[in-house]
Amino acid sequence: MPRNILSGLRIATMDKGDTAYGLVERGSIGLEDDRIVWVTAGNAVPSDWRGVEIEDFGGRLATPALIDCHTHLVFGGNRAKEFEMRLEGASYEEVARAGGGIVSTVAATRAMGEDALVEDALPRLDALIGEGVATVEIKSGYGLTAEDELKMLRAARRLETMRPVRVKTSYLAAHAVPPEYKGRADAYIDEIVLPGMEAASDLGLVDAVDGFCEGIAFSPEQMNRVFARARALGLPVKLHAEQLSDLGGAKLAASYGALSADHLEYLDEDGVAAMAEAGTVAVLLPGAFYTLRETQLPPVAALRRAGVPIAVATDCNPGSSPLASLLLTLNMACTLFRLTPEEALAGATREAARALGLQDETGTLEPGKRADIAIWDVEHPAELTYRIGFNPLHRRIVGEDA
């Protein structure tokens, strides 16, 4: 049973203790196998750990390894041409007529095999890993046939075997109505979304069920049908809610005890209260807010007041958030959404773990948790959110049985 000791660290444990960031000024961490066994101030080592190898980090900062709890990392093609067209003055409709928009990503994703999807996703995954990320949530949602959704989920799961990272998959067939079901969203749910969910569940490919509740996607009534089937299969749910308008999606999600409701720019007080009551995490996605040049801010003060846990994620996708940097996302969460640096860092560690149902496993540096640790060349944790386009990662440690 290999043991080792990491010492000479400033440790932002991110547990909810009395100090900001759960900070331990000069301390050590004892690891055994893939677990944290102890965290102490100073150089004191438990007597039965004498003789164990000690690595000194010269005062560097340790935090929990980062967690990106909302991504669409697996997809085909990209939408740079559409970005260019819009900046040259094309309207959304013109873009759509030229084959752009989410439908173009669906076509590109359908056209690719599982191997190619994996190859394309790897550089994005590596960018996240390079910034200290050890856990990534990845959604389907660009296949929109049962087989193409399963292909995306298999690709997501394969990534986990190719890199030292943990992947949690979400089934997002209720992301958009595909062209062949135009105007027949209910039939799409009956014929594709629900059977595909059963297949994904039978194959063990899915950790949670997600949806896009919006005027341009699915109504709360339609999402209710999707969630009812998820519940019958014993799968937790989450929802893209209140991104562009307030349809009461977060409230619906909370009524199913959702892990999270995500985006939330248009969330009202009722929705906040429902989330607080259910313990549903608010996942804020400043990359989409920025890319869409949204002006409606998520109700951060109301979420805080109600004690709703707040997480932050990249939403990495080819349309509304072509963003593969969680550190930049944290900076955006502070600058655009006025999260404090401590809230932002908690949002990509402790609360992101909660948003994935992994709060007993990772997200803080505490005895019993996995040895998912990021060590940074910085003195103070606020430096992680303050710089823009700068990556001070020194070392990432990942507990092995990911």
CB nearer ligand DI6, residue 318 or residue 363? 318
Residue from the set 136, 264, 284, 288 that interacts with ligand DI6 by CB under 6 A: 288
Contacts of 43 (CB under 8 A, 6+ apart): 7, 26, 28
Only one residue has tokens 């900070």, namely 23
Query: Should residue 320 be labelled a site residue for ligand DI6 when binding is judged by CB under 6 A?
Result: yes
Residue nearest to Fe ion (CB): 315
Question: Interacting stretch for ligand DI6, rule CB under 6 A, among 116-124, 229-237, 311-319, 353-361?
Answer: 311-319
Question: Interacting stretch for ligand DI6, rule CB under 6 A, among 11-19, 41-49, 84-92, 316-324?
Answer: 316-324
Residue from the set 100, 299, 309, 319 that interacts with ligand DI6 by CB under 6 A: 319
* Helix and strand counts by DSSP (H, E) for the chain: 16, 14
> CB 185 → ligand DI6: shortest distance, Å?
15
The token pair at 235 is 């799968």
Residue nearest to ligand DI6 (CB): 319
CB nearer Fe ion, residue 131 or residue 137? 137
Q: What is the DSSP letter of 9?
A: E
Q: What is the spatial distance between Cα 131 and Cα 327, in angstroms, rounded to a whole number?
A: 7
Strands 54-64 and 35-41, by their bridges, are unpaired
> CB 144 → ligand DI6: shortest distance, Å?
12
The token pair at 197 is 């969910």
Would you give the binding string for ligand DI6 spanning residues 157-176, x where CB under 6 A is met? ------------------x-
Residue type, 58: G
CB pairs under 8 A, 24+ apart, for 261-265? Answer: 262/70, 262/238, 262/313, 262/315, 263/288, 263/298, 264/298, 264/299, 264/303, 265/289, 265/294, 265/296, 265/297, 265/298
CB under 5 to 8 A by kind: which of ligand DI6, Fe ion, none does 243 bind? ligand DI6
The token pair at 181 is 């079901």
> CB 60 → ligand DI6: shortest distance, Å?
36
> CB 244 → ligand DI6: shortest distance, Å?
8
CB nearer ligand DI6, residue 320 or residue 385? 320
CB under 5 to 8 A by kind: which of ligand DI6, Fe ion, none does 320 bind? ligand DI6
Count the residues in the chain.
402
Instruction: Write down the H helix ranges in 15-55.
Output: none
Conformation bin of residue 262: beta by default, left when phi > 0, alpha when psi is -120 to 50: beta
CB nearer ligand DI6, residue 140 or residue 362? 140
How many residues make contact with ligand DI6 (CB under 6 A)? 11
CB under 5 to 8 A by kind: which of Fe ion, ligand DI6, none does 212 bind? ligand DI6
Query: Should residue 351 be labelled a site residue for Fe ion when binding is judged by CB under 5 A?
Result: no
The residues in 290-319 that bind Fe ion, with binding defined as CB under 5 A, are 315
> CB 213 → Fe ion: shortest distance, Å?
12
Instruction: Write down the H helix ranges in 130-145.
Output: none
Contacts of 386 (CB under 8 A, 6+ apart): 331, 334, 341
> Contact residues for ligand DI6 (CB under 6 A)?
102, 105, 175, 212, 240, 243, 288, 317-320
> Contact residues for Fe ion (CB under 5 A)?
315
